[in-house]
Amino acid sequence: MRLCTEKLAAAKARTPKYDRESVGVGIVHLGIGAFHRAHQAVYTDTVLGKTGGDWAIRGVSLRGASVRDALKPQDYLYTLAQRGPQGCDLRVIGAVRDILVAPEDRPAVLGALVDPKVRIVSLTVTEKGYCHDPAHGTLNFDHPDIAADLRDPQAPRSAVGVIVRALAARRDTGSGEGSRPFTVMSCDNLPANGETARQLVTAFAEAVDGGLARWIAEHVSFPSTMVDRIVPATTDALRQLVADQLGLEDAWPVAAEPFSQWVIEDDFCAGRPAWGEVGAELVSDVAPYELMKLRLLNGSHSTLAYLGYLCGHESIDAAMTDGPLVRFVRRMLDEEISPTLRAPVGVDLDAYQETLLERYRNPTLGHRTYQIAMDGSQKLPQRLLGSVRDQLIAGRSVDLLAVAVAGWIRYAMGVDERGNTIEVMDPLADRFGAINKRAGRDAGRLAADYLALKDVFGEDLAAAQPFVSAVTEALRRMLAEGVVATVADTAGQVSAN
């Protein structure tokens, strides 16, 4: 028996108590993947149950039809499995009204954003979905999707192109309700994600119509947000577990840790749900939260992903059983990342770090190092390189951060220590391949050529001698002695100092 409205009463879980049919759509969400469904959609579901309002979510999948195909027969209901050492808590989420698939029906997607009742367009399209240069935060006009959208702005396929087209239509609908703008809310792990979204949308709009860019500057808000919840990819084992516990089949449940945090800049030009009443923090400045999360959590996550993968750990919790690796990460957090941060009011950075390590130990998530290792070129700048820059400016050490960066390069070489191929998923994978071919196993050439990727490292880091030497030396040791030994020695060496 399949989960759906008709069978909802049979579900052995908490279920939506509000009348889903009577709730209007107020949010269009681009990128309706597991993360959105286990995070923002859950807060919104709680709001709908508590205070109501026309805030149902119309999801948009910019690429494939798989999520829509899985959820449509279930009336877009799905199960959130909250998993921790205490067990598995199931809840059926009802906030998603339906899902549109962009490649199947682009006009319908535009129509959804242009609908004057829609007050927020939110995004989780991952770092690469912004089609930007991650080192500089600027729009990449050479990106094939952006180039195509600029040739034909009426039928866009990039998230930025879709938003600009829809905003143009909102403006052109004339006076009255139709001309109302919507808020653009990025929920991706980018630094100053609201400001970044604003710059990218504005740059695209400038290229199409200067008047439109000015209208956007005047009317559209782009709040920044810090989103945090560990959400591993859904597996068949999870589907089975949910079916057994729920008593109904669910084709695409999502798993998440119990922890969840959402800090939102309270700047919405057309209103918002009462997320503040259901656990989100509405603040005037998200920056300190965002930096803390990107650098401490995502920085250590990526480090555990690259070094952990190379040390033979398939999941983060397995990597957390590796004493030297954990010692290494802890020291990197303490000595080279925390000193770059200003703690948000009321937050203790040491306690925050401890909580992170505890969350990583969650044995029920099976969060794969391979999954986190994806798209490193888009992630490194905000996760590790911002700390590198701040440490260098302050004249402090970057030796541990350099080992993490060397771990990324070692991973991007595409072959593990046993000689097995690593399928490196990254928009820059072709460029990595060319470097690997040229440089072979020469640590000096590898480091120089990888650090010369300006859209990752900017113009400055390839010339920052202490950093270049430390990355080269770490890579040399990894290639000569292995990653396990390099990590253990570095962790030991540093703790002896």
Q: Using CB under 6 A, list all residues that contact ligand CS2.
A: 189, 228-230, 297-298, 301, 371-372, 379
Secondary structure class of 440 (helix, strand, coil) = coil
Q: Which one, 189 or 377, has the nearer CB to ligand CS2?
A: 189
Q: What is the nearest approach in angstroms of ligand CS2 to the Cβ of residue 476?
A: 27
Q: Quote the DSSP letter at residue 24.
A: P
Beta carbon nearer to ligand CS2, 202 or 260: 260
CB of 224 to ligand CS2, least distance (A): 15
How many residues appear in the chain?
497
Query: At its nearest, how many Å lie between ligand CS2 and the CB of residue 128?
Result: 12
Q: Which amino acid is at 57?
A: I
Pairing of strands 87-93, 78-84: antiparallel
Nearer to ligand CS2, 44 or 298 (CB): 298
CA 55 to chain centre: 23
Q: Is 160 or 296 the residue whose CB approaches ligand CS2 more closely?
A: 296
Q: Which two tokens stand for residue 290?
A: 């965002």
Alpha-carbon torsion (183, 376, 462, 395), positive or negative: positive
Cβ-based nearer residue to ligand CS2, 228 or 455: 228
Contact status, residue 11 vs residue 28, Cβ threshold 8 Å: no
Helix (H) or strand (E) holding 369: helix 369-373
Nearer to ligand CS2, 157 or 293 (CB): 293
Query: Closest approach of Cβ 277 to ligand CS2, in Å?
Result: 22
Q: Which amino acid is at 300?
A: S
Q: How far is the CB of 261 from ligand CS2 (least distance, A)?
A: 8
Residue among 99 and 226 whose Cβ is closer to ligand CS2:
226
- If the CB atoms of residues 11 and 256 are measured against ligand CS2, the closer one turns out to be 256
Q: In this structure, what token pair is assigned to residue 308? A: 């952990």
Q: How far is the CB of 173 from ligand CS2 (least distance, A)?
A: 37
Q: Which residue has the tokens 């859950």?
A: 42
Provide the sign of the torsion angle of the four alpha carbons 313, 314, 318, 320, taken in this order. positive
**Shortest approach of ligand CS2 to residue 459 CB, angstroms?**
26
Other residues' Cβ atoms within 10 Å of the Cβ of residue 427: 16
Q: What is the DSSP letter of 415?
A: B
Residue closer to ligand CS2 by CB (options 193, 221) is 193
Cβ-proximal residues to 386 (8 Å cutoff; 6+ apart), any chain: 191, 291, 294, 295, 340
The pairing of strands 25-30 and 120-123 is parallel
Q: Which helix (H) or strand (E) holds 197?
A: helix 193-208
Sign of CA dihedral 329, 331, 333, 337: negative
Please, what's the largest Cα pairwise distance for the chain?
A: 69
In whole angstroms, what is the distance from residue 191 CA to residue 295 CA? 10
Query: What is the smallest separation between the CB atom of 279 and ligand CS2, expressed in angstroms?
Result: 15
Minimum distance of ligand CS2 from residue 3's CB (angstroms): 26
Taking the complex as a whole, how short is the minimal distance between the CB of residue 262 and ligand CS2, in angstroms?
Answer: 10
Q: Is 86 exposed, middle or buried (0-12, 13-18, 19+ CB in 10 A)?
A: exposed
Report in angstroms how near the CB of residue 126 gets to ligand CS2 at its nearest.
9
* CB 298, min distance to ligand CS2, A: 5
Q: Which amino acid is at 18?
A: Y
Angle at 363 between CA 358 and CA 365, to 5 degrees: 100
Q: Which is nearer to ligand CS2, 75 or 228 (CB)?
A: 228
Task: Give whichever of 202 and 378 is closer to ligand CS2, judged by the CB atom.
Answer: 378
**CA dist 109 → 52, 59, 115 (Å):** 25, 9, 10
Which neighbouring-strand residues pair with 27? Answer: 57, 120
Q: How far apart are CA 404 and CA 303, in angstroms?
A: 5
Which lies closer to ligand CS2 via its Cβ, residue 140 or residue 298?
298
